[in-house]
Amino acid sequence: MKDSFTYAVLGLGGLGSAACYWLSRQAGGDVLGLEQFELGHGRGESHDHSRIIRKTYHTVPYVRFAQQAYAAWEAVEADSGEQLVLKTGELNFWPEKTTLDESAYNDSMAACGVAYDSLDPAELRRRFPQFQFDDTVHAVYQPDGGLVAAIKANEAHRRLARRNGATLVDNMPIDEIRQVNGGYEIAAGGRRFQAEKLVIAAGPWTNRLLAHFGLELPLQVTHEQVSYVASPHLEEFAPERFPVWIWMIHDNYYGFPVYGAAGVKIAKDRFHPTHPDTRGFEPDEKNERDVLRFLADHIPRAAGPLLYTKTCLLTHTPDGDFVLDRLPGHPNAVCVVGATHAFKFASVIGRTLAELLTDGETPADISAFRFDRNTLALPGVWNLPQG
């Protein structure tokens, strides 16, 4: 294995794997990817069968970025010959008590030409009888929403990067990054590598790598979980019959059709602060009871015995927006933080990171994702519930 490259991607979760792929389209064998665990491990943020992809966002730049994400995924699908995005349709349920701003979502979609249907309670019951809500809940249906096949997509990005000549190495924890002769020297797993340009895509471990640049972001890492439930009526919840759905409040419930396991998938945000090195892997039983109760109350034919629960991590920024930018003082080093909702964008984020390093600019509007924005300069103002 050679030890000198033009580009090094540090961290091979969902976003780093995508960056390797898009860099390799231009730079082939000049791309190195380093991962501290085995490729495809389940200790970070990007594991499991599915993630929601949607155009329903609360600002115009996010809706436009989502539109670009669909196009980027199509390019990867064309290159890999695999279907990675399943359009199931997406239902957003708006309860009366929500603190989220529905008009911000609808206006942003309208400004970007994204079609959607507003469903009053009666229309919701008529079109989607699987769901049972009272008259205080209405919905928005957006037909392009669906799921990204997360494990498959990560594998596709890495497989295609290797096909293009990239070197991806697992079990290589990065211990040190030093600036040397205008480039970087990376000490990892007992070896030393040189690279002219860097992508930092370390998810919950971001600040550990930023420390080598004397930088720190006010990030919060939380422990989350998703549950699979063995409905006796699985066929009614197949992707062609049952949309992805989101209960639109802050600590929300959300769910998927049957995909990847023999059960419907449901989750409720936990926002339980943790540390990526000392976290446990045990599910929270109250969260499991809550999601089973939600199914029994609102999607009763999907209710059934718990198949299993899988835990994972989330990395939060104080304002909920990504970091996707050059490091201050380092024009040849870019950093991404997914801020809890980046998987759907993985491919366009990978393309954008590659553009920043290869072309020096990107057509994507990433102005809201600057490293030096005010909300990241302040000490993190965290108000996450403990528990």
Q: Which residues bind ligand FAD (CB under 6 A)?
A: 10-16, 34-37, 44-46, 51-52, 173-174, 201-205, 208-209, 224, 226, 267, 312-314, 338, 340-344
Question: Which CB atom, from 147 or from 302, has the smaller least distance to ligand FAD?
Answer: 147
Amino acid identity of residue 122, one-letter, is: A
Q: Which is nearer to ligand FAD, 130 or 207 (CB)?
A: 207
- Identify which of residues 164 and 222 has a Cβ nearer to ligand FAD in the complex: 222
| Residue 312, strand partner residues | 224
Nearer to ligand FAD, 37 or 70 (CB): 37
β pairing state of 90-95 and 244-247: parallel
> Which residue, 16 or 183, is less far from ligand FAD as judged by CB?
16
Q: How far is the CB of 52 from ligand FAD (least distance, A)?
A: 3
Q: Pairing state of beta strands 146-149 and 183-188? A: unpaired
Backbone torsions φ then ψ of 233, nearest 5 degrees: -115, 45
Give the residue among 284, 289, 311 at the shortest CA–CA distance from 226. Answer: 311
CB 73 within 8 A of CB 148: yes
Single out the residue of 378, 363, 20, 13 nearest to residue 198, CA to CA: 20
Minimum distance, C-beta of residue 28 to ligand FAD, in the bound complex (Å): 22
Q: Least distance to ligand FAD from the beta carbon of 330, Å?
A: 17
**Which residue's CB comes closest to ligand FAD?**
13
Torsion sign, CA atoms 79, 83, 84, 89: positive
Residues in a beta bridge with 275: none
Nearer to ligand FAD, 14 or 239 (CB): 14
Minimum CB separation of residue 30 from ligand FAD in Å reads 20
The minimum distance between CB 341 and ligand FAD, in angstroms, equals 5
What three-state secondary structure class fits 302? Answer: helix
- What's the closest the beta carbon of residue 263 comes to ligand FAD, in angstroms? 16
Phi, psi (degrees; rounded to nearest 5) at 119: -115, 120
